[in-house]
Amino acid sequence: MSAMLLNKEKWPDFVGKLTGKTLWAPQGEGEEMRFAPVAEGEAPALEYGNTRVPPKQAVFPQTETMFRFQLGDKEVEVPELKEEAVLLGVRPCDARSMAIVDHLFSWDEDDPYYFKRRELVTLVGLACSEPGLNCFCTSVGGGPGSTEGLDLLMTDLGEHYFLEAVTEKGEALLKEAGDLIEEAGDDQVKEKDQLIEETAGKIKRTVDHEGIPEGIPGLWEDKLWQSVSASCLGCGTCTFLCPTCHCFDIQDEVEGFDARRCRMWDSCMFSEYTLHTSGHNPRYTRRERTRNRINHKYSYFVDKFDVIACVGCGRCVNLCPVNIDIVEILKQVKEAL
Amino acid sequence: MSANYEPNIVAFLCNWCSYAGADLAGTSRAQHPSNVHVIRVMCSGRVNPLYVVNALQQGADGVLVSGCHPGDCHYMEGNYYARRRLGMLKDLLEFAGVDPRRFHMSWVSASEGHKWKEVVEKTVEDAREAGPFEGFKRQQIDW
Amino acid sequence: MDLDKLRETAAEVAARDDVKYLVGWKKGSYGYRVAPAFVENAEGAAELIFTPLCTANLATYLTLVEKLPLPRGQEPDDRKVALLVKGCDSRAVAQLLVEKGIHRDEVVVIGCPCPGMVDPAVLAEKYPETEEPAELKWSDDGFIIAQNGEETAVPREELLAEKCRLCRYPNPVVSDIMIGDPVETWEPAEDEGVTEIEDKDVDGRWAYWQEQFSNCIRCYSCRNVCPLCYCQDCILDRLNPTWVHRSVNFSENTAFNIARAFHLAGRCIECGECERVCPANIPLGKLNRKLAREVRDKYGFEPGLDPEAEPFQASYKPDDPEDFIL
């Protein structure tokens, strides 16, 4: 796959060439950046750590209409998904998370909504040069320059962006750019590799998950779950901001005779998540739910799909209101094993 | 705002005073606007302030809650509680940017048919001035 | 605040036969974080701290307790819970007592007079944190940040949290044991955040809140962290009837936030936690503080001061204001 260089001065022109598609890029101020549509004619300045809400919104929206119907009808109207989009500046961890979640949405049958959006969305990534305080992507199989899940990866080399295509879609983008870009030489490739290595070296937090996927179910009754979950509030912040979390709820909403069935994010940390209609709740307290969350990410998912469902983005650590730190929890798990 | 905008008002009337008062206005053939959709409740104290929010969400341009005069509540104190709670709701809605002309509360007794006519006229006029309330309506979203 | 005295008292209380555990603050896992600590013995008590970073309101843990059905023959453990509280937190305890959410003999309240907390977001922006847990202390005219072996003195005005600027009760109003002497109260600042919105016209206010509520991701952090939101079955979660749909859009988000603010009218003790934890940085405090101010001005009532008072929304006075009624 091609490796090209784009002079930063030509960045607005490059963005301008991406016509016919909606462009999304991180926008906002300070800590609270979000992926939002880019205004016509603007070129987003890609200077940010990472967005609060991960770009999984693009392929797995927080609220999605599955179909509409009129009460009393036998026909339903399915939304037509045809809007193509390009997400600029996705971090490698977030893109990798989509590759991980792909496994789940294709488990027995391919989820048509999710995969249609995956097809329509092109992910242009931006390699990291400054890891966040709580990033630990290198411990879980990722890295600041990982290309998994991306269509095109950009690395900031100072005056140029190093562009490497990863998929056909990425190649197509490079072709569209035409003569704005030039072939990258061996020197630049070396420079890029060095930059990525340096960034990886700056990552301070690590997680040693050797033996955890196999061993953690054995800790079912361990008292560490009580101490770890004692301060949990049962809010949904960690799950909603987690790029690999994918649980959803399906509800019907009716206004008069207009109705729609929609799918929205749900959180395993909510108390009514596993509430049965009988009133019984197998995960009645936060201890069970916290235990479930860690087990799911580091054991059950590995069991089914051979990959840890955590990309080390650090959002749950940064934003948990009571400082429940997954890195610390895993340390405790490792000790208990 | 289109020329044929007719405000949609939802009114919660207490069974013993306001509903009877509205009925009296009807039997007296007092001419008043017909934009008000009445929901009868047993007491104004029974009105959960979230009903008001819900009504606005479902497309009402204005909401009215009406009960017995203080001291005359059929259940002794229901209207006192309503006065407190709905007073707070009015302040909150106004602070959140909902036009204060959209939410009213009134005391209408069973013999005040003429007062009911005036209350309805005021509520409808205010909602007409404030315009259709599209901003809060439930939306059906794709993507 | 004498830290040794705090730890000693905590160890003593936690070791009591009639106390299940004690809830306090301990150093977090990195930077400026502080985590709630659940202490059952002297070892745990040795980790307790009380610094300008202890913004968390621990009173929410009094009502967060989940009781599993017990195996036959096992008696429920209804020993007391001990709690470290600042001024604002103690008001939450007082309000819970008013509403009978907890009983006075279920809780041991240890009061910590509070000189004022730091705003963690402002702090992290001006003095970036590192992975090593940092320490903060109060000084005579502000705060001292001790990080990576270096100490930086910062004037109070620069870092004091907004909720502390407006604080009227830095000394706990309810307590069984008080650690240290009461702090000097300060003149509460003008609530500019609320006045700024009051000064806008109706359309301006709607536009402001529209922008804010569009960012809400309905994570329910605000509700879960609030010590006074403790309904087992929250009305805003109910599906039959559905008051507020689960779907996330402006209409539902606004309804959710307005409903929650309304349920806190006359109950909110202005601890500012909802605003601190919101991942979308929505200024929820403004909504709640505005209502708190209306309750103060119009009804002369302040929640969370007198455990024997009557709840605001469940009581009335014959001469309550009714100038808004036609």
Contact C316 B93 (CB under 8 A): no
Helices (H), chain A: 11-16, 92-105, 112-120, 168-177, 186-202, 212-215, 224-229, 237-240, 286-295, 301-305, 315-319, 326-336
A contacts of C237 (beta carbons < 8 Å)? 270, 272
Whether cis (ω within 30° of 0) applies to the bond prior to C241 is yes
Half-sphere exposure of B89 (CA within 13 A, CB side): 27
Give yes or no for residue A5 having a pLDDT over 90. Answer: no
What pLDDT is stored for residue B126 in this prediction?
A: 95
Give yes or no for residue A130 having a pLDDT over 60. Answer: yes
Instruction: Write the CB contacts of B57 (distance below 8 Å, at least 6 apart in sequence).
Output: B136, B137, B138, C251, C255
* Mean pLDDT, rounded, for C66-83: 86
pLDDT above 90 coverage of chain A, percent: 50
Length of chain A: 337
Rounded CA separation A10/A132 (Å): 28
Residue of A nearest to C243 (CA): A253
For A242-295, what is each residue's pLDDT tens digit?
999 999 999 988 887 888 899 999 999 998 899 998 988 999 899 999 999 999
Instruction: Write the CB contacts of A221 (distance below 8 Å, at least 6 apart in sequence).
Output: none
A contacts of B143 (beta carbons < 8 Å)? 61, 64, 81, 83
Residue B8 is encoded by which pair of tokens? 């949609």
A contacts of B141 (beta carbons < 8 Å)? 63, 65
Contact C322 B87 (CB under 8 A): yes
C contacts of B100 (beta carbons < 8 Å)? 202
Contact C219 A324 (CB under 8 A): no
Q: A16-30, A68-82, A83-97 — which one is most confidently predicted on average?
A: A83-97
Amino acid C109 reads: V
Which residue is listed with tokens 């400026």? Answer: C32
What pLDDT is stored for residue A71 in this prediction?
A: 87
For the sheet with B103-107, list strands across it.
Answer: B36-41, B9-14, B62-67, B103-107
Residue A56 is encoded by which pair of tokens? 């999984």
DSSP string, B77-124: SHHHHHHHHHHHHHHHHHHTT--GGGEEEEE--TT-HHHHHHHHHHHH
The pLDDT-based confidence of B141 (bands split at 50, 70, 90) is: very low
CA–CA distance from C59 to each of C36, C95, C97, C201, C248 (Å)? 11, 10, 12, 37, 29
What pLDDT is stored for residue B1 in this prediction?
A: 52
Give yes or no for residue B16 having a pLDDT over 70. Answer: yes
Q: Indicate the residue of B88, B96, B119 with minimum beta-carbon distance to C205.
A: B96
Give yes or no for residue B140 having a pLDDT over 60. Answer: no
In the three-class reduction of DSSP (H, G, I as helix; E, B as strand; rest coil), residue B31 is classed as coil
Residue C41 is encoded by which pair of tokens? 């013995």
Q: Which of B20, B23, B14 is nearest to B77 (CA)?
A: B14
- The CA angle A58-A59-A65, to the nearest 5 degrees, is 95
Rounded CA separation A159/C266 (Å): 58
Domain B9-130 has CATH 2.60.120: no
Which residue is listed with tokens 């007391």? Answer: C80
Amino acid C222 reads: C
For C99-138, what is each residue's pLDDT tens digit?
999 999 999 999 999 999 999 888 988 888 888 888 899 9
What pLDDT is stored for residue C78 in this prediction?
A: 84
Residue B131 is encoded by which pair of tokens? 């315009």
What pLDDT is stored for residue C52 in this prediction?
A: 93
Give yes or no for residue A138 having a pLDDT over 80. Answer: yes
* Mean pLDDT, rounded, for C175-180: 92
- The CA angle C289-C257-A54, to the nearest 5 degrees, is 115
Which residue is listed with tokens 């013995």? Answer: C41
For A266-278, what is each residue's pLDDT tens digit?
999 998 899 998 9
Length of chain B: 143
What pLDDT is stored for residue A50 in this prediction?
A: 87
Give yes or no for residue A92 having a pLDDT over 90. Answer: yes
Contact C35 A62 (CB under 8 A): no
DSSP string, A20-40: TSEEEEEEEETTEEEEEEPPT
C194 phi/psi in degrees, rounded to 5: -75, -45
Task: Name which of B109-123, C56-70, C165-179 the model is least confident about.
Answer: C56-70
* Mean pLDDT, rounded, for A20-30: 83
CA–CA distance from C9 to each of A93, C12, C119, C248 (Å)? 46, 5, 28, 47
Q: Tell me, yes or no, if B142 comes closer than 8 A to chain A by beta carbon.
A: yes
* Residue A251: exposure state from Cβ atoms within 10 A (0-12, 13-18, ≥19): middle
CB pairs under 8 A between A and C: 108
Q: Are B43 and B14 a contacting pair, CB within 8 Å?
A: yes
What pLDDT is stored for residue C223 in this prediction?
A: 93
Q: Are B105 and B126 a contacting pair, CB within 8 Å?
A: no
Rounded CA separation B87/B53 (Å): 14
ipTM: 0.91
B78/chain C closest Cα distance in angstroms: 10
DSSP-assigned beta bridge partners for residue C128: none
Q: Tell me, yes or no, if C255 comes closer than 8 A to chain A by beta carbon.
A: no
Model confidence pTM above 0.90:
yes
pLDDT above 70 coverage of chain C, percent: 100
Query: B54, B137, B141: which to substitute to probe chain A, counting the most A Cβ within 10 Å?
Result: B141
Rounded CA separation C105/A269 (Å): 31
B contacts of A65 (beta carbons < 8 Å)? 140-142
Boundaries of every domain in chain A: 3-202, 212-336
Q: Are A268 and A293 a contacting pair, CB within 8 Å?
A: yes
